[in-house]
Structure 1
Amino acid sequence: MTTTVAQAPIVTGSPLLGSMSDLLNDPLNAYLRARRDHGDVVRFRAGPPGLRADLYAVFSAEGAQQVLATRAADFRKDNVFYEELRRSVGNGLLTSQDDVYLRQRRLVQPLFTRRRVNGYGQQVAEEAAALADVWRAAPGGSVELVGEMHRFALHVVGRILFGTDVKQAFETIERTLPQLQEYSLKRGFSPFKAPRSWPTPANRRAVRLQSELFGLCDGIIASRRDREDGDDLVTLLVHAENAEDGSLDADELREQVLIFLLAGHETTATALAFALHLLARHPEEQGRVREEVDRVLGGPGGRPPTAADMEELPYLTMVLKEAMRLYPSAPVVGRRSVADAEIDGVRIPAGADILVSPWVTHRHPDYWPDPERFDPARFTPEAEAGRPRYAWFPFGGGPRACIGQHLSMLESVLGLAVLLREFELTDAQEGEVPLGAGITLMAKGPARVRVRARS
């Protein structure tokens, strides 16, 4: 007896553009509505008649596991968005594939062992203490979390990557990277994109920004070639080699540095900003975290945290995980199928663009009762063991899981520990923080809190 495989239900949009407007203007709610109305596998049709493209979306934990892990070889990073990002910031670990990816991963992996990453705890603690000094002088005791956490995360990742050159790099990085991301995203969605070789204003600006960013990275890399004793990641990358894979050439070095900058500061900044935002709105949870931090580190002005303290801060870690559930830094992850597949009883044809969405799966009522409620107790060891593995996947999964996830957790836990030990936070935000989805989750407005230094 044969089993009939269903076709994915089509999410209807406007007669002129299909679902394109929804996916461009409000993608997060478009994905949530699609799951609610049509189920765990849906098909968006976007674009004008005659130029429409299909986009399959998979929302179940089991489906996400197939795409990212158990059938990862059948779902590749060949879609238009990765191609645009690849052409903007290079073919580093985030965008490379096949033998290129495997070679890069083998060369870079020793730089991200738990032991080596734990050695960066001092830099994280020092940058958090410097931020606390800035907050003590904040006008009116008010700070805007999104901008503050982006600067903090960029300081940390820049210091770990670049060492003493970090201050010279900040202005260039903050100005160029976001604009190149936006340019890549718009080109990925557009059915009418001019070739990059055409001298349009957008193309010329992108070339100028890319040249400036590449020049910055090349200069820093060149300064590390004669050094043997540095512990920053650029120096380690310059000297990374093994018998099987050789070493990274100049282009590969630059591409890895750019990917670490892109993925290394924005994702952590999002987790930090929304963890603090949620704690400011939930004073009882904030108090419980602070009691734990005070017990481990001493009260205000206590000792700096270290990587060894992470195991002693389980409730803070639960809060962070719950913040990453509600505000995953990568709200969608794209792939392209290279073979026919069946997911949750629905056919996915070869050649289809497909996405999985932590934003939606992290709110799926089958795994998360009352999913919009902030509840760190969802991440007790017992609760985690009772859920499917891919009900929570803020760092992706499978063979392409984020290589820097332990560094991100170290930075987030230690940074939060310092700030919550030194300050009490109260909400100063009117309404919810408006959100959008680009390559990462984007706050489209402020997340403001008041901070009061603890004596």
Structure 2
Amino acid sequence: MIALAVPIIFVLYLLKVLYSKWKVYNYILSNFSSPPRHPIFGILHLFPSDSPGIFRTFQELVKNYGRNFVVSRPIFDALIAISDPADIETILSNPNTKTAKKARLYDTLKPWLGTGLLTSWGEKWYSRRKIITPGFHFSILEGFVEVMTKQSDVLVEHLRSEIGKDEVDIYPLVNAFALDVICETSMGVKVNAQADPRSEYVVSVKKISRAIQAKIHHPLGKMPVLYSMTKNGRYLQHLTNILHDFTNKVIMERREQLLHNSSPDKGSRMNFLDILLHATADGKPLTNDDIREEVDTFMFEGHDTTASGIGFTLYLLSRHPDIQDKVYEELKDIFGNGHEAEITSKKLNELVYLEMVIKESLRMLPPVPSIGRQLMEDTMIGGVTVPAGINLSLQIYGVHHDPRNFPDPENFDPERFNTSGTQNKRTFAYIPFSAGGRNCIGQKFAMLDLKACIAKVIMNFRLLPGPEIILQGDLILKSSNGIRVGLEERE
């Protein structure tokens, strides 16, 4: 009897779980628009297998099915894609930031990032945010400009060696620049990604994003134990081990140095790792694992995103010579005619037009095309009470390309962000760095990095248009065919 009762109880429990999921699934589908769906596979049949095709199809759904619609998936699973600024404001401006939880998709990052600032929630997130915020004080960021400038000069020399070619894919070069900057500012170490792009750590950093993306699309990707047994799973673990070993080694070496000198040398530049090593939570120092989570998170959030932001801005400037000329004229006004002009944070902050250009680039081609949230309480969305537990996908790319928010959205027009006008007064219709209590903590760092790099490139080169980019929306918005431009050295 017991042997018979156990499977019966299991089946009844499974049926109860499925029924509960079906009720919520049916409720969501009854209250929001949805593309045609398969009874078992949801709308997965609408998507092609290639990354650019997936991104293109999803943006078509955003346009065709309203600002909020249901993405239905197998086994009564559904998320709501949100691109209504009012509903985005409701979700992101929730005053109780401790209950703001990332969507389940972010669990894919935890083997590498642990539960650092990006993936944590509740008290842990609140405590970490409080600890980390001083690391982005203007006095700290000011010291980082020297690193950004030095690495920009290295990038310029690499670009100069490419002159004479019809087109150059600038993305790998910009990506290596971003990695050099983030490693030196976050850990105080030089990985020389621009000089030695084949080092084990540099290669692993570049490969792990693709390995994580492969996990997201794998049938076993949501089952960590089973996925770890696959070839892809073992490869992802191999890359993770390399990155963890590197970060752990840096932390241990720096901790040992600080044992002999309890505070940074006077006048020395404090990096992100030093701030974490001196921090305490509830009166206790952070453990090595705590610190590694945050350093790796900073690496992930500040590397590919910055590279995409720089690459896409240079791409847009190459296709709009009139705007590129205005940027160059502003650079001459601020820095003079010399290619070796000294770049400081004060001068970078004076680059008003370049900042408008960058903001418009981040509107048209936001490095993070969407962000995910999981509701921790019943929430009113589009006039409908959505129950706790539902996952949401906030469509940054979609809201930025909605003509109701930005007239003629496919037109590259930096004047949208002219602070002397009124058209720039948008709130949650422009969110390249997210918004609310869980906005991007490193956005000021990113803007300085973008300005320093772009300024150096434009002061030294005239950019010429290459092929049109083909977008793919992985974890980070990228171009599947690279970012190819022509280069002419300025006199």
Aligned-partner SS, 1:436: strand
C-alpha separation between the residues in 2 aligned to 1:344 and 1:384? 27
2:8 corresponding residue in structure 1: none
Q: TM-score, normalised by structure 2?
A: 0.85
2:225 corresponding residue in structure 1: 196
Aligned-partner SS, 1:128: helix
Does residue 284 (structure 1) correspond to residue 322 (structure 2)? The answer is yes
C-alpha separation between the residues in 2 aligned to 1:282 and 1:15? 47
Does residue 151 (structure 1) correspond to residue 179 (structure 2)? The answer is no
Change (3 A) 1:234 1:319: closer
Aligned-partner SS, 2:290: helix
Aligned-partner SS, 1:335: strand
2:379 corresponding residue in structure 1: 341
Deviations 1:179-205 (A, max 9, x none): 433343444455544533652212211
Amino acid at match of 2:479: A
1:20 corresponding residue in structure 2: 44
C-alpha separation between the residues in 2 aligned to 1:245 and 1:106? 14
Alignment of 1:421-432 (within 5 A): 421-429=459-467, 432=468
Q: 2:481 aligns with which of 445, 448, 451?
A: 445
Deviations 1:282-325 (A, max 9, x none): 00000011000011111242422110012321111100001100
Q: 2:129 aligns with which of 105, 112, 122?
A: 105
Verify the 8 A CA contact 2:98 2:121 in the aligned structure 1.
Answer: no
Change (3 A) 1:288 1:187: same
Change (3 A) 1:106 1:247: farther
Tell me the C-alpha RMSD between the 2 structures: 2.4
C-alpha separation between the residues in 2 aligned to 1:18 and 1:383? 45
Greater Rg over alpha carbons, structure: 2
Change (3 A) 1:52 1:290: same
Does residue 254 (structure 1) correspond to residue 292 (structure 2)? The answer is yes
In the TM superposition, residue 270 of structure 1 has moved relative to its aligned partner by 0.8
Deviations 1:38-87 (A, max 9, x none): 2111101123xxx2420101101121111111366597435321112112
Aligned-partner SS, 2:72: strand
Alignment of 1:208-357 (within 5 A): 208-225=238-255, 226-227=257-258, 228-229=264-265, 231-242=269-280, 244-357=282-395
Gaps of 5+ in 1: none
Verify the 8 A CA contact 2:98 2:125 in the aligned structure 1.
Answer: no
Aligned residues: 446
Deviations 1:249-301 (A, max 9, x none): 11011111111111111111111101110010000000011000011111242
Change (3 A) 1:245 1:390: farther
Amino acid at match of 1:70: N
C-alpha separation between the residues in 2 aligned to 1:447 and 1:357? 23
Change (3 A) 1:30 1:76: farther
2:72 corresponding residue in structure 1: 45
Deviating more after overlay: 229-238 vs 198-207 = 229-238
Verify the 8 A CA contact 1:81 1:184 in the aligned structure 2.
Answer: no
In the TM superposition, residue 210 of structure 1 has moved relative to its aligned partner by 1.1
Does residue 454 (structure 1) correspond to residue 483 (structure 2)? The answer is no
Amino acid at match of 2:488: R
Aligned-partner SS, 1:304: coil
Change (3 A) 1:364 1:147: same
2:60 corresponding residue in structure 1: 33
Deviations 1:369-415 (A, max 9, x none): 01011000010114566543111111111111111110100010111
C-alpha separation between the residues in 2 aligned to 1:368 and 1:210? 41
Amino acid at match of 1:196: V
Amino acid at match of 1:446: G
Deviating more after overlay: 176-185 vs 293-302 = 176-185
Verify the 8 A CA contact 1:108 1:240 in the aligned structure 2.
Answer: no
1:125 corresponding residue in structure 2: 149
In the TM superposition, residue 340 of structure 1 has moved relative to its aligned partner by 2.1
Q: TM-score, normalised by structure 1?
A: 0.91
Verify the 8 A CA contact 2:112 2:296 in the aligned structure 1.
Answer: no
Q: 2:200 aligns with which of 162, 169, 172?
A: 172
1:94 corresponding residue in structure 2: 118
C-alpha separation between the residues in 2 aligned to 1:428 and 1:243? 51
Change (3 A) 1:220 1:22: farther
2:88 corresponding residue in structure 1: 64
In the TM superposition, residue 29 of structure 1 has moved relative to its aligned partner by 3.0
Deviating more after overlay: 171-180 vs 280-289 = 171-180
In the TM superposition, residue 146 of structure 1 has moved relative to its aligned partner by 1.6
Amino acid at match of 1:153: A
Amino acid at match of 2:401: R
Verify the 8 A CA contact 1:318 1:380 in the aligned structure 2.
Answer: yes
Verify the 8 A CA contact 1:153 1:268 in the aligned structure 2.
Answer: yes
Amino acid at match of 1:419: V
In the TM superposition, residue 21 of structure 1 has moved relative to its aligned partner by 4.8
C-alpha separation between the residues in 1 aligned to 2:106 and 2:95? 19
Aligned-partner SS, 1:199: coil
Deviations 1:320-371 (A, max 9, x none): 0011001101101001112222222234222111111110000111110010
Give me the identity figure in percent: 26
Amino acid at match of 1:123: V
Deviating more after overlay: 162-171 vs 400-409 = 162-171
Aligned-partner SS, 1:390: coil
1:412 corresponding residue in structure 2: 450
Change (3 A) 1:139 1:73: closer
